[in-house]
Chains A and B, each alone.
Chain A
Amino acid sequence: DAKTTQPNSMESNEEEPVHLPCNHSTISGTDYIHWYRQLPSQGPEYVIHGLTSNVNNRMASLAIAEDRKSSTLILHRATLRDAAVYYCILRVLNDMRFGAGTRLTVKP
């Protein structure tokens, strides 16, 4: 079973920031927090991952709570191409379990 909890859906306006939350209250010290996104009829695409510290890359930022029981994926300026299902996953070594994710709708 997935060990993360995400809202089923969220909406955003184009060019505004988006904060996608994820709860993982049972996280252990060795679990990495990974985020993927999936466009319709495509395989998931890696977005970002982290362990304890906040992380930034060209796609997004990942903010991790100090107790690591929650995290937030931040898209700084949403575009229509960011409309997708976003998955928050806890990873231990090569073991990953996907939940239902959050469906992000971006309105022009």
Chain B
Amino acid sequence: AQSVTQPDIHITVSEGASLELRCNYSYGATPYLFWYVQSPGQGLQLLLKYFSGDTLVQGIKGFEAEFKRSQSSFNLRKPSVHWSDAAEYFCAVGATGANNLFFGTGTRLTVIP
């Protein structure tokens, strides 16, 4: 069965500092991985996705993520965080032909000026 673990419930970083949000997945076949961001009271916005190919994927807003099969991880990174990045971040795994995503519990990001 698919599952996603986001070990960090809450992370606080200073504006301008680098960021890494962790995501570990469990899935029997080739995983299809997503990162979504949710601002308070809003829906989910897709940041980036990994289907196949290059294991380092670029997304919107300067985010990138690296797929590491050996570690079952898909960590999200950003070299320099902006105050507007404060939000909740969700990692999700999906399967071909099935539009039911399995989400992690989310990591809430606080950015200190």
Indicate, yes or no, whether A interacts with B.
no
Name B residues whose Cβ lies closer than 8 Å to a Cβ of A: none
Name A residues whose Cβ lies closer than 8 Å to a Cβ of B: none
